[in-house]
Amino acid sequence: MTVVVEAQKLQKYYNSFQAVASIDFKIHRGECFGILGPNGAGKTTVVAMIYCFHPISGGKLSVLGRDVTTEPRFIKSRLGVVPQENNLDQELTVRENLLVYAGYFGISRAGARKTADELLHFFGLSSKANQQVEQISGGMKRRLTIARGLIHAPEILILDEPTTGLDPQSRRLIWEHLRQLKNKGLTLILTTHYLEEASQLCDELIIMHQGKILEEGRPLELISKHVGAKVIEVEISPAKRYAFLRSVEHLTRNYQLAGNTIYLFIPTDETATVEFINSYKEVQTYRVRPSNLEDVFLKLTGSGLSNDEESYDE
C-alpha cells in the first residue's frame, strides 16, 4: 500500500509549549485514518501541519512524497481541508461559496460551475444552491464545507472534527457521505473525539493524549487487545471495592476504576463472571455491555475521552 503521509519524530511547539511530542505515523492511500483524542490532545495541530498551515518544529513530515517544509504549495494543491471552525462566507450563496473557492485553485469558471453542481447534488444541497449560507442549517453548512474541500478534486481530504456540534441525524448523514467518498478511493484523514465516529469510519487510528500517541491500530484490534469482548460495569461501595476485586481475580484481572464504577473487562464469555457477581451480595447493581473504544481510552489513561455528555448513548 502506498504511504501518502509519513511523520517521523514530528514535533510542534507553540513558543515553549510542546503541543506535539515526537510522534511517528504513516497514512496509506485509500484509507480513512483517524486521529482520536480529547480536547487539547493535539489533533488540530497535527492536521494543520499536514496541510501546511502550521510549520513543524522538529522531525520530518512528508505528504504525497513531498516535504512540508520545502513544498507546501504542491501539497496544498493536492489536499482538501475541512477546518474545525466554520469559515464559509456567510454573505455569499451556497453555490458562490464553491465558485469563489474554485477561483483560488485557478479552476476555469465553466469547470467550477460543473463541479460545484455535481458536488451540491452529491451532498443533497442542490435545492439550497441560491440561498445565503447564513440561512441554511448547521448540518448543511458542514456538508457545504466538505463539498468546498473537494472542489479541486484533491487526493486527500482532511476533516477536523467534521460532525462536532451536529445532531445525531446530521452526523449520520455526513458519515454516509464520507463512506461513499472513501469507496470512490479518496484518502480521508479525520480528527474526532466521538468514539462511535472513529469506530464507524476509520480503518486505522491513533489515539492521542497530551501531544503523544498512546496507541495505534484498527478499532476492533485495539478493543480486543486492551479490553476484550465485554465490559461489566459494577457499582459497589468504595469500602467493599478491593475485597471484591480480589475475589473476582480468578475470572479477570483486567479492570479500571472510574468514579464509583468498576469496569471489568472480559476477554470472551462473561457468563461465569456474571454468575459470580450475582452471588456477591455487596454488589449494588451491574450492567453488561459490548466493549467500545471509550473503554480502550479509559484503560490507557484512567479517564474518559468525551468532552461532553453526548458521545455514545444517543
Ligand X SMILES: Nc1ncnc2c1ncn2[C@@H]1O[C@H](COP(=O)(O)OP(=O)(O)OP(=O)(O)O)[C@@H](O)[C@H]1O
Binding site for Mg ion (CB under 5 A): 43-44, 84
Using rule CB under 6 A, residue 19 touches ligand X: yes
Using rule CB under 6 A, residue 209 touches ligand X: no
Kindly give the pairing relationship between strand 261-266 and strand 230-235. antiparallel
* Contact partner at residue 193 from ligand X, Mg ion, none, CB < 5 to 8 Å by partner kind: ligand X
Instruction: Determine the interface stretch with ligand X among 33-41, 102-110, 112-120, 142-150 (rule: CB under 6 A).
Output: 33-41
State how far the Cα of 210 lies from the Cα of 201, in Å rounded to an integer. 24
State how far the Cα of 117 lies from the Cα of 119, in Å rounded to an integer. 5
Interface with ligand X (CB under 6 A), residue from 7, 36, 37, 227: 37
**SS3 label, residue 237:** coil
Using rule CB under 6 A, residue 256 touches ligand X: no
Q: How far is the CB of 103 from ligand X (least distance, A)?
A: 28
Q: Would you say how long the chain is, in residues?
A: 314
What mask, x for binding ligand X by CB under 6 A, covers residues 42 to 81?
xxxx------------------------------------
Query: Which of 157, 270, 294 has the alpha carbon at shortest distance from 219?
Result: 294
Q: How far is the CB of 210 from ligand X (least distance, A)?
A: 8
How far, in whole angstroms, is CA 288 from its chain's centroid?
A: 26
For the segment 166-195, give every residue that binds ligand X (CB under 6 A).
Answer: 193
Q: How far is the CB of 19 from ligand X (least distance, A)?
A: 3
**SS3 label, residue 206:** strand
Rounded to 5 degrees, what are φ and ψ at 309?
-85, -10
- The beta strands (E) that lie in 16-78 are given as 17-28, 32-36, 58-63, 66-67
In eight-state DSSP terms, residue 56 is P
* Contact partner at residue 41 from ligand X, Mg ion, none, CB < 5 to 8 Å by partner kind: ligand X
* Contact partner at residue 34 from Mg ion, ligand X, none, CB < 5 to 8 Å by partner kind: none
Interface residue list for ligand X (CB under 6 A): 14, 17, 19, 37, 39-45, 84, 193
